[in-house]
Copies of this chain bind each other. A is one copy, B any other.
Amino acid sequence: MTTEKRVYTFGNKKAEGNGKMRELLGGKGANLAEMNLIGIPVPPGFTITTEVCTEYYEKGREAVIEMIRPDVEAAIKGIEQQTGMTFGSDRLPLLVSVRSGARASMPGMMDTILNLGLNDTAVEALAKRTGNERFAWDSYRRFVQMYGDVVLGMKPESKEDEDPFEVIIADIKKERNVKLDTELTTADMKELVKRFKAAVKKQTGSDFPTDPWEQLWGAIMAVFQSWMNDRAILYRKLNNIPAEWGTAVNVQAMVFGNMGDRSATGVAFSRDAATGENIFNGEYLVNAQGEDVVAGIRTPQQITTEGSRRWAKAQGVSEEERKAKYPSLEEVMPEAYKELFDIQHHLETYFTDMQDMEFTIQDGKLWMLQTRNGKRTGAAMLKIAMDMLHEGLIDEKTAVKRCEPAKLDELLHPVFDAAAMKEAKVLTKGLPASPGAATGEVVFFAEDAAKWHAAGRNVILVRIETSPEDLSGMNAAEGILTARGGMTSHAAVVARGMGKCCVSGAGELNIDYKARTIKVGQTVIKEGDWISLNGSTGEVYIGQVATKAAELNADFTKLLELAKKYSTMRVRANADTPHDAQTAFSFGAEGIGLCRTEHMFFEASRIKAVREMILADDEAGRRVALAKLLPMQRGDFEALFEVMNGYPVTVRLLDPPLHEFVPQDEKGQREMAEEMHVSFEKIKSRVASLHEVNPMLGHRGCRLGNTFPEITEMQARAIIEAAMNVEKRGLPVKVEIMVPLVGNHKELRYQKNIIDRTAEQVFAERNDKIDYMVGTMIEIPRAAVTANQIAEVADFFSFGTNDLTQMTLGFSRDDIAKFLPIYLEKGILKADPFQTLDQNGVGQLVKEGVFKGRNTKPQLKCGICGEHGGDPASVEFCHFAGLNYVSCSPFRVPIAWLAAAHAALK
């Protein structure tokens, strides 16, 4: 299993690994190696493989240290040779960074240690060498704090408890009567280090380690340990990353962005990660160290002058003020900027994808610390893929594969309704960190966001700044608003990854966690008040703002065209109205896979007839009521058939239990009694007689049509007559009549007999005929198990995986909230089985159903119509299960096409 080599060195344009070794070296490590190989300046270092992480969890800390010690010692020696510095030296101490680096990028999830190697003697040497005592002690106090938090476990478990180091900093600021860290003096830094060490001693019972080697092993093992921390586990769960992958550890010589005004550190993107525009961009801070940019503590400056001007305009900052206070890197360090610009272009062309890079300028010299394919919004993903296709950088198949199906969802999200926007009152403006529109009730804590969301409320999570601990709350929120932090702050990066609307760095916000209020000038927003965010402009509105569907551009159309070209499985939509059908059609649906006829029953004009039918004492009474419904249903079907213009339309016969059509409360029943001129007691008793203990498993689906055949007759007549009417107008029609909830071939036979008999009657009346198919849902486990028998009667199968999941797993969709969260947390379930098809269980029944059905009828058309039809992983499963099509909600049709294409290209 495990390769012999556990440590891979790189530096000075040489590397033992390369960019293809992501699995072994992690994404960061592989790219550090690859950058060396293509001549990019990278501080020398080495990568400990992901397999060692796995060994760490198998064999334990000591065994692993023994195993890798010789290689690590040799690698450190290599860095010493390249840098001319020595680890633990009193004169020229080598300082290193220790970072995690998993196969898939996990931003903010893994802990990082900078400035490792510092101690009371090394700090003096560093001060001496750099001639910058404050810098040296600032680095030292940062190291002690980071190491204390991450390796020595000083960081409190709960967010409510304060970080002891932050308490000490706050104390000192108070004593010195200053507000900013930058106002602290060198002496203050020394005092901080002293107090930090005392705090460590007090809390851990041991002295802060002074031996650099002890520090290094501690840091390496802490990275491994952090692979299993709660945040990392949650992130992996949200992103379907297996725990077995493990993380690599990257150890590199430190370069310092905080060595003075000729030093800087920053993050850059080869294209715009929000819009996809082919514009180099990024943010930096002069005289700052690594984490300062992404932590969102200072508002960073733009790298390019053009970007800087845009930013200033958006923020209402004058050109003079901008130049004075927020100049671009291009203006401040033109040479380093030029080199950075060339490198980003080199890297993007080399990796043929948009790059997200970290860099540090130490005393005027540029060092690249990381490059990776940049996370992007759905819009950017689409634009970049289509642009690169047009630029000839990638081919069609690659362009398709570059577009993640799930991310298309963002493009299909509603945006604010223009009319509503005019009335909307702007509260403030921040940075457009992640596009889209969101509206919800204000909450301030991640836990509340999760709770309120679980209770069915829409929330906006409002934080001064976010941190990885907020992840679950961000996931639960409709949108995220922060007062601090830039476009690359934690909030912004994570929100884009989630496809969630985010406005960051809205500095006017005065957030009071205790009082649970936001103040902007005189306006006070309390917890629970509604606000709305426009993630594409950065605007924040007071109250709820109406939204409307997104409009799609040429890139989208092109992608859809490519996806349809490369997928072998087809995509239909679930649509019950001409409006939905039109949407589906415009999104490329090749038919309707599920039209739920009962949705037509709820309109005010119809529900009365439906209720008359339910109240009827006998078949004759039901027939009178059904006769009223017939022309309405026929009209509905005609409209649907017209929209679909010859694409198949699968009409499902009445499915829900009848109690869904009558009011359950006394008030509604009294109204119904009055309207229908019958006694309240009769209504009440009829409703009571419809009550079921487990309605999911009750009198519904074809059980209705088999106990009240006249309902099926009416529906069959409406469908057939509608189809004939539309054909008469010269439009093609393809009708598929679908019988729900069949568990037994005889149930289908009975229904098919009624349908065929009705059709023959209509044909005779009109002296004309049309083709139609009669098929069934496969949504009861028994139907899958006996699919060979059912296929003798059915012209097609449509797997109703919603109900099939409920029955196969024994999960009532309405009741799982009591245990699903716990099951997800404990890992008993990997995903909500109603979102992603349970391939081992439900999937086996789907495969069995297809196999047995086609055994009877080799050309049997098989599809799926359930929420899963729009879930990329499930669509892939359907492709490999041999289904002819998936049918999903209209807004997910493009996602399904893209997922189907991905599956076909696998």
Contact = CB atoms under 8 A, between A and B. Distances in A.
A746 B826 CA distance: 9
Interface string A680-697: 000000000000111111
Interface string A23-46: 000000000000000000000000
A815 B741 CA distance: 15
Interface in A772-802: 779-782, 785-786, 789
A781 B808 contact: yes
Given A692-B812, A786-B841, A810-B743, A819 B699 contact: yes
A581 to B, nearest CB: 29
Nearest to A741: B810
Contacts of A818: 698-699, 703, 707
A692 B813 CA distance: 10
A80 interface: no
A703 B789 CA distance: 35
Contact of A808 (B707, B782, B806): B782
A871 B699 CA distance: 26
A56 interface: no
A286 to B, nearest CB: 52
B780 A692 contact: no
Contacts of A697: 694, 696-697, 806-807, 810-812, 815
A692 B696 CA distance: 12
A213 interface: no
A844 B789 CA distance: 13
A810 B782 contact: yes
A750 interface: yes
B809 A707 contact: no
Interface string A729-744: 0000000000001011
A819 B785 contact: no
Nearest to A690: B818
Interface in A9-31: none
A707 B819 contact: yes
Contacts of A842: 782
A694, A699, A750 pick with most chain B CB within 10 angstroms: A694
Number of copies of this protein chain within its complex: 2
A692 B819 contact: no
Given A694-B696, A845-B785, A810 B747 contact: no
A828 interface: yes
Nearest to A814: B693
A744 B780 CA distance: 19
A840 interface: yes
A747 B826 CA distance: 10
A829 interface: yes
Interface in A742-766: 743-744, 746-747, 750
Contacts of A811: 697, 743
Interface in A566-617: none
Contacts of A703: 818-819, 823
A822 interface: yes
A60 interface: no
A156 interface: no
A452 to B, nearest CB: 17
A874 to B, nearest CB: 16
Interface string A835-856: 0001011101100000000000
Nearest to A749: B828
The 3 A-B residue pairs with the shortest CB-CB distance in the complex, in nearest-first order = A697-B812, A694-B812, A782-B841
9 contacts: A692-B815, A695-B812, A697-B815, A744-B829, A750-B828, A780-B808, A781-B807, A782-B838, A785-B844
Given A785-B841, A786-B840, 5 more contacts: A694-B697, A698-B812, A703-B818, A746-B828, A747-B828
